């Protein structure tokens, strides 16, 4: 398939591009660059062993998007393009509504105009708010706890309404739990701007000496060791799930909503200790007040994804930490650093993709 990957230069989108290419699909990236580096392109091309098209386009720019749809005749769209920082969304809610909700509406309009009717949407476990029960199933109650969460919830609803109005439109709604890790090559990974909001990139920055210690938000939750529990999922597993979801949506000719998690809860301190084992680095930490709005324990029931897509997370927490550390050690300043020579990347060349793309 020829696939438009909106936000494909970002963390999860870039990994999805590698997987899609390895399965013989042809990807074209549209990314505004609001949270990505142009350097990802060279890394991606090295990984897939073929040229990749990256267009610096904002999905809200209808004219530029129309030109892309006219040039490429896409079979499907993967929609990763969004702003994602919860704290920033509380300070600048209108920017989030404009980019994430406005962007989704504009993208759906562009798809409709071009007659493209298959969408894979990046949603989030944040739509469950503070779940009353774990593991969380897809039929749990939905609630937005902050403007970012609201954009995901509203976007899900907009897409659902469109599916109702147009019986030929198919959407796969993927609710990610906590994506972490990086491609095992160390060539692509998560590159947060400024102080990371999320736990794993924060730990990584402590490990390379950019921050002196981790602040653990809360040590008195009713959990295994008092710290918050989440469902961390390796980004390569997530990337595989996108390809599986797209292929299932096409073959079964139906839309669906699934959780993407491992089904296993890991506490903050368990993750810290796993990271220390994987990296050989000590991660100093201090337990501080709870972070407002945090839940004690959130992890997925991933059974539906397995039942529909035959997908199951393959990587465990040790692999997540190993690959996160490998990426960080090779790229201490993210894409701003030249690749470290010491650790030569393991480049896995997906042979099918090379052949298909080279001939394209």
Determine if 230 is a binding residue for ligand UDP (CB under 6 A): yes
The CA-atom distances, in angstroms, between 13 and each of 79, 147, 359 are 9, 22, 24
Determine if 110 is a binding residue for ligand NAD (CB under 6 A): no
User: For ligand NAD, which residue of 96, 128, 176, 248 counts as binding (CB under 6 A)?
Assistant: 176
Task: Give the gyration radius of the chain's Cα atoms.
Answer: 19
Determine if 215 is a binding residue for ligand UDP (CB under 6 A): yes
User: For ligand NAD, which residue of 84, 118, 242, 326 counts as binding (CB under 6 A)?
Assistant: 84
Secondary element (H or E) of residue 226: none
Residue closest to ligand NAD when measured from CB atoms:
10
Determine if 201 is a binding residue for ligand NAD (CB under 6 A): no
User: Is 148 considered catalytic here?
Assistant: yes
Determine if 321 is a binding residue for ligand UDP (CB under 6 A): no
Residue whose CB is less far from ligand NAD, 94 or 358: 94
The CB-based long-range contact list for 193-197 (8 Å cut-off, 24+ gap) reads 193/35, 197/85, 197/86, 197/87
Question: Got the DSSP string for 117-137?
Answer: -EEEEEEEGGGG-S-SSSSBP
Cα–chain-centroid distance for residue 167? 28
The CA-atom distances, in angstroms, between 97 and each of 32, 50, 106, 148, 154 are 16, 36, 12, 8, 9
Candidate ranges 1-9, 165-173, 244-252, 351-359; the one touching ligand NAD (CB under 6 A): 1-9
- Give the Cβ contact number of residue 221 at 10 Å: 19
Determine if 35 is a binding residue for ligand NAD (CB under 6 A): yes
Scan residues 256-285 and list those touching ligand UDP (CB under 6 A): 268
Residue whose CB is less far from ligand UDP, 166 or 225: 225
> Which residues are at the interface with ligand UDP (CB under 6 A)?
178, 197-199, 202, 214-217, 228, 230, 268, 291, 294
């Amino acid at each position: 398939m020829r696939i438009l990957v909106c936000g494909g230069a970002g963390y999860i989108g870039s990994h999805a591009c590698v997987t899609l290419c390895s399965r013989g699909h042809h990807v074209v990236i549209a990314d505004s660059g609001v949270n990505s580096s142009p350097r990802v392109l060279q890394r991606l091309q090295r990984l897939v062993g073929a040229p990749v098209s990256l267009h610096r386009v904002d999905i809200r720019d209808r004219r530029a998007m129309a030109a892309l749809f006219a040039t490429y005749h896409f079979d499907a769209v993967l929609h990763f393009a969004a702003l994602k920082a919860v704290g920033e969304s509380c300070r600048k809610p209108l920017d989030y509504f404009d980019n994430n909700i406005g962007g989704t509406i504009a993208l759906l309009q562009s798809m409709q105009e071009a007659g493209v009717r298959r969408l894979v949407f990046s949603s989030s476990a944040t739509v469950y708010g503070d779940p009353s029960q774990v593991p969380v199933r897809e039929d749990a109650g939905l609630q937005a706890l902050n403007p970012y969460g609201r954009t995901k919830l509203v976007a899900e609803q907009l897409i659902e309404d469109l599916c109702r109005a147009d019986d030929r439109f198919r959407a796969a709604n993927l609710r990610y739990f906590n994506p972490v890790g990086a491609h095992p090559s160390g060539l692509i990974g998560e590159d947060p701007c400024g102080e990371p909001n999320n736990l794993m990139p924060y730990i990584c920055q402590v490990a390379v000496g950019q921050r002196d210690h981790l602040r653990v938000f809360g040590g008195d939750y009713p959990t295994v060791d008092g710290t918050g529990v989440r469902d961390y999922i390796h980004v390569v597993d997530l990337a595989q799930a996108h390809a599986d979801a797209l292929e299932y949506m096409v073959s079964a000719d139906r839309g669906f909503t699934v959780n993407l998690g491992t089904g296993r809860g890991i506490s903050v301190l368990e993750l810290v200790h796993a990271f220390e084992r994987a990296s050989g680095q000590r991660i100093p930490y201090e337990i501080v007040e709870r972070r407002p709005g945090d839940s004690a324990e959130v992890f997925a029931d991933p059974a539906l994804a397995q039942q529909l897509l035959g997908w199951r997370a393959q990587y465990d927490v040790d692999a997540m930490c190993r690959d996160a550390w490998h990426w960080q050690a090779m790229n201490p300043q993210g894409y701003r650093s030249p690749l470290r020579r010491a650790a030569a990347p393991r480049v896995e060349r997906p042979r099918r993709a090379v052949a298909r793309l080279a001939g394209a």
